[in-house]
Every structure is written in structure tokens, then in C-alpha cells.
Amino acid sequence: MKLPKLHIVAIVQARMSSTRLPGKIMLDVLGKPLLFRQLERMEKAQLIDKIIIATSTQIEDDAVSEFCSKYGYICFRGSLNDLLDRHYKAAIRYDADVVLKIPSDCPLIDHRIIDVVIEEYLKNIDKYDFVTNLKPGTWPDGNDVEVMPIHTLEQAWIEAKSANEREHTTPFITNPMNGFKIKNVCWNSGLDYSATHRWTIDYPEDYLFIRRVYEELYPSNPDFSLEDILQLIMLKPDIQDINSRFAGQYWWNRLIEN
């Protein structure tokens, strides 16, 4: 099947003022910032035409702008808390037909998954307003991909009112009350790895886990895959144990209980 030719723009929202782990996107992994490592992986996706780093206009996010200048990435600056506004205006600025939302806390994201989700959207372009792999999640946490045409994002930008809808970009779209046609892409393993495998970064333990994965896999294979990570932690379960207490949808309840 021939896929339609559209301008597909990935927008990575990044800021220095993370509440749980400030400056996490600039933490070192094998001599480069964590954000660089994520973008390095994303750039291998075959179906992305452009990657935009969308940060805020706050002075602390000058560091993100400087990062982009140093490594040759496009930087867009907008609202600190209205991420829906920041996302939409970045998409408009760079003439996106199709917009990807990928968080900056996914440094182990597999470009193969990105292409799978984009392809699902392109094959069903007349059927769906929004394609994701998060509703429900089945892939290891930290492989988050959300794909939408610009008109879907624009409708959300115009109509979304609540603070939650504005801050988190896509809740207005995923709310079934708003009538968007949504497709979820599940992992064909038939298992829910999002409940047991945490590859995102919010806490120091997450950073230690991610850094260890890179140290083990990157030197011999910079393009290591999701399957490579799974094989690594099967052979060396102590690696997964590093941040396992944060794994799963309701991990914070377990912390309270303990």
C-alpha cells in the first residue's frame, strides 16, 4: 500500500524545570545529554520529516535553546504551562500536516515503534483523528507516540478549556465525550509491558537504569532495539531492579503503602 505524502513533524516538548528531577534532559549519558541520546534515536525513524524541540520562554530554558544551537536542532519557544498552545504554534510555524507528540522523557524510545504508529495513521487517514500506543499502553513505558493531523490539534487548541487539557496537550482529544475517532496500536506480543517495564525518566533511579542500558548496549550497537533491551534485562535482571519500584500505572500507591 502506498502511503500518502504528508509533512510529518515530531514535536518534543522539553524544559529544565522538571519537578521530580530538575534538569533531567541534560544529564550525561556516555558523554552526551540525555536529550541528545533520545533525538539520536528518533532521527532514525523513516517517516518523520522534521523534529522540533519545543521549550518555554523562561530563562532557565535558555539551556534548551543553547543545546539546540550546539547540536543543530530546531528550537521553538512558547508558553511554560500551556503546552497545548506551545505544541500547536510549533506545528503551525513549521507547516506540519501531521503532528507527533513524543515526550522528552523517553530516551530509550525505539524508532521502529515510532514508524509503526505513524504508518498505522497513514494507512487509515480517513478513519481516525488520532492514533496512539498509549490508550491503553502495552509497550514498555517510555515508548510514547501520539499522532494526529493538524486539524485535530487545532480543534483541541481552540476548544480545550481546562488546565489539565492545556497542560498535557492531548487529554481533550482522548476524552471520549469530544467525539474524536481514536485508534490504539498495541504491541503484538499480547502482553502489557507498560505495567512491568519502566524506561522513562522521572527519578534518579530511572536515570541510573537508562544510563546502565546505554553503557551495556550502545558501544557495540548504537541502534539497539526494544528487543535488545528486553534481552539485556532478562540476562541481567539487576538492571531492571534499579527502578522497578516505580514501574506500573499505579506505582505511586506502592510508595505510599511502603
Kindly report, residue by residue over 22-62, the tens digit of the pLDDT.
899 999 999 999 999 999 999 999 999 999 999 999 999 99
- Residue 20 is predicted with a pLDDT of 85
Question: What's the rounded mean pLDDT across residues 113-139?
Answer: 96
Does residue 24 sit in the same domain as residue 141?
yes
At 21, which CATH number?
A: 3.90.550.10
- Reported as a single tens digit per residue, the pLDDT across 54-76 is 999 999 999 999 999 999 999 99
Does residue 223 sit in the same domain as residue 174?
no
Please say whether the beta carbons of 123 and 3 come within 8 A.
yes
- Residue 18 is predicted with a pLDDT of 82
CA atoms within a 13 Å half-sphere pointing along the CA-CB vector of 195? 5
Which of 135, 160, 184 represents a domain boundary (last residue)?
184
Question: What's the rounded mean pLDDT across residues 221-240?
Answer: 97
Q: Whole domain around residue 85: which residue ranges? A: 8-184
H-helix or E-strand spanning residue 88: helix 83-93
Is residue 179 left, alpha or beta, with left meaning phi > 0 and alpha meaning psi from -120 to 50?
A: left
- Residue 5 is predicted with a pLDDT of 87
Does residue 227 sit in the same domain as residue 102?
no
Q: Which residues contact 152 (CB under 8 A, 6 or more apart)?
A: 129, 130, 173, 180
